[in-house]
Amino acid sequence: MSGPVPDRDPGLQPERTRLAWRRTTLAFAVAAVLAGRQAVHQGLSPFGLVAVALCAVALLAFLAIAQARIIGLGSGRPAPLAVRTAVAAAVCVITLAAFGASVLA
């Protein structure tokens, strides 16, 4: 790319992208809490406990992905999102849907 690496993007694009990751993590937390509540409501069977644990793992994994990306966005000219990261984030979301569906009433 041409031009020097800016210290700060005047359009605050990395900042906006960081915040987008933050609010997506927040949305994930809300959905994960609802999924956990679902499993607890069925009575805590061993299967329900496993489902709750997997929802928690999905949330933690998404948190880790988001955190890594937020750190990656700290540079003046951040690298584009890796395909692997995008796929991993979507897999976390699909996992939540799948394990949530398995504990439906």
Residues in contact with another protein by CB under 8 A are 1-3, 9-14, 16-17, 20-21, 23-24, 27-28, 30-31, 34-35, 37-38, 41, 73, 77-84, 86-87, 89-90, 93-94, 96-98, 100-101, 104-105
Smallest distance, another protein to C-beta of residue 37, A: 6
Smaller CB distance to another protein: residue 50 or 88? 88
Structure tokens at 89: 């984030």
CA distance linking residue 15 with residue 104, whole number of Å: 38
Question: In terms of CB distance, is 50 or 102 closer to another protein?
Answer: 102
Select from 97, 86, 19 the least CA-distant residue to 58: 97
Report d(CA 21, CA 23) in Å as an integer.
Answer: 6
